Every structure is written in structure tokens, then in C-alpha cells.
């Protein structure tokens, strides 16, 4: 089971290093940490695989503000999140750019966590299956690809999909693409066990609850208890 900690735009280099020096995950669970770009170098080499939060599809070029896969690999970064709902919502990410970023990162040798998920209004209109089919259709199965299901209405809102809803979405995604699928909607120590116990949930992409070592350790223990 995989637990991925997405720190979003939190923790500069000093905080990142201090967290990783304190954090002690249990055995029996795989953990990756995804700090902001400025903290990647400080985080690498402290005992856990480090992923970026985004990666461009070109190796180099006139793309101000972007970072390429070769640059990440040179730092010792092992993977990247791609297509997070916040990138789609605030920065114009779409299925085409997610596909390009994912393919380039995999070709370069990175691991990828590609995010998919429906908006609240899409769920209310009964469009969840259509949205997931469209988003997953641009991805191809790969040994270094993991998909994260993020119901967008549960990102940073405190809302969480019921275990049954999460299982339904994960089963659909797995029927379309033979890769592990993480759940990524407000996972906390309090709900981790029942979410991770679902048969098609292969781990979690954890946001706010990953910012404190004690909280992330509790989620990791929940995952380890189910492995």
C-alpha cells in the first residue's frame, strides 16, 4: 500500500528537512513525500522517495516557471504528481496537458501519480462516470504509473467520499486502466482505516493531514495494519 504526502505550498527547505528527520513511518507501507519545488533538494537523501508536485513535458526550453524531468532526476527526485485538481482548477491544466506531462515523465524514468476526479456539480448531475472515463482515457498503463482518485468536492473542504463511493470510483478506474489507484479526498487518521480497507483502494494521496509527522504516521499505521 502506498501513502503519498502532498505538502502543496507548505514547508520551505528548513521545515521539510526537520519534518523528515522526525518522521518515522512503520514497516509494511510505502511512503513518498511531495514537497514544493524549493524544498526538493533539502528533502532528497533523508530516507524516503521524494516526488515533485508537477513536471513539464519538455526537457528544456522557454517555459518560465516550469521544471523538467531531467532537472528533477538530477536532484535525486524519483517521481511527480501530475494533474492535481488544484492545477486543473487554478492553472488551466487539462486532460491533454496531463497526458503530455505523464508520458514525458514516464519516458524520462520518473514515477507518476496522475490525478483524476469529478467536480461537485458533475457528481450532482450524475456525470462522475463520464468524467472519470474521459480523464483516464488519456493515460496508458505503465509500471511506474499510479492514479489518484480525487473527488474535487472533497479536496480541502473537509468533506470525504463515503467508503462505498470511493470503492465505486476506484473499481471503475481499475476497469479502465490496470494500475494501482490511491484515494485523495481529505484523508485523515480518523477515516483512513475504513477508506483504505476498500478492496480497490491501494493507498492514499494525503494533503493537509500529511503536514504533521504524528498525523501522517497515524495514516501510515492504518495502511500498514491492512497490508
Catalytic residue among 84, 111, 142, 170: 84
Cα torsion for 135, 156, 31, 203, to the nearest 10°? Answer: -50
Catalytic residue among 78, 86, 93, 150: 150
Q: For residues 52 and 81, is the Cβ–Cβ distance under 8 A?
A: yes
- Give me the phi and psi of 200, to 5 degrees please: -105, 10
Residue whose entry in the numeric block shows the C-alpha cell 492553472:
91
Whether 150 is catalytic is yes
Please give the Cα distance from 58 to 41 (Å, whole number): 21
According to the 3-state scheme, what is the secondary structure of 33-65?
A: EECCHHHHHHHCCCCCCEEECCCECCCCCCCCC
Whether 84 is catalytic is yes
Please give the Cα distance from 161 to 157 (Å, whole number): 11
Q: For residues 98 and 83, is the Cβ–Cβ distance under 8 A?
A: yes
Q: Residue 105: CB partners within 8 Å, gap ≥ 6?
A: 55, 69, 79, 80, 82, 112
Please give the Cα distance from 200 to 208 (Å, whole number): 23
Give me the active site residues, please: 84, 150
Amino acid at each position: 500500500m502506498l501513502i503519498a504526502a502532498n505538502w502543496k505550498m507548505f514547508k520551505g527547505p528548513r521545515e521539510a528537512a526537520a519534518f523528515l528527520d522526525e518522521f518515522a513511518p512503520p514497516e509494511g507501507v510505502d511512503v513518498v513525500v511531495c514537497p514544493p519545488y524549493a524544498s526538493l533538494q533539502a528533502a532528497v537523501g533523508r530516507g524516503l522517495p521524494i516526488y515533485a508536485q508537477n513536471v513539464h513535458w519538455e526537457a528544456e526550453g522557454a517555459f518560465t516557471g516550469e521544471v523538467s524531468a531531467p532537472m528533477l532526476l538530477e536532484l535525486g527526485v524519483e517521481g511527480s504528481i501530475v494533474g492535481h485538481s488544484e492545477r486543473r482548477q487554478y492553472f488551466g491544466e487539462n486532460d491533454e496537458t496531463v497526458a503530455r506531462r505523464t508520458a514525458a515523465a514516464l519516458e524520462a524514468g520518473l514515477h507518476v501519480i496522475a490525478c483524476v476526479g469529478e467536480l461537485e456539480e458533475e457528481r450532482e448531475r450524475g456525470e462522475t462516470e463520464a468524467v472519470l472515463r474521459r480523464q483516464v482515457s488519456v493515460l496508458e498503463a505503465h509500471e511506474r504509473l499510479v492514479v489518484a482518485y480525487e473527488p474535487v468536492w472533497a479536496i480541502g473542504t473537509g468533506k470525504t467520499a463515503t467508503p462505498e463511493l470511493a470503492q465505486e470510483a476506484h473499481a471503475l478506474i481499475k476497469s479502465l486502466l490496470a494500475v494501482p489507484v490511491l484515494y485523495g479526498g481529505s484523508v485523515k487518521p480518523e477515516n483512513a482505516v475504513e477508506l483504505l480497507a476498500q478492496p480497490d483502494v491501494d493507498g492514499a494521496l494525503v494533503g493537509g493531514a500529511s503536514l504533521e509527522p504524528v498525523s501522517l504516521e497515524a495514516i501510515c499505521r492504518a495502511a500498514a495494519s491492512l497490508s
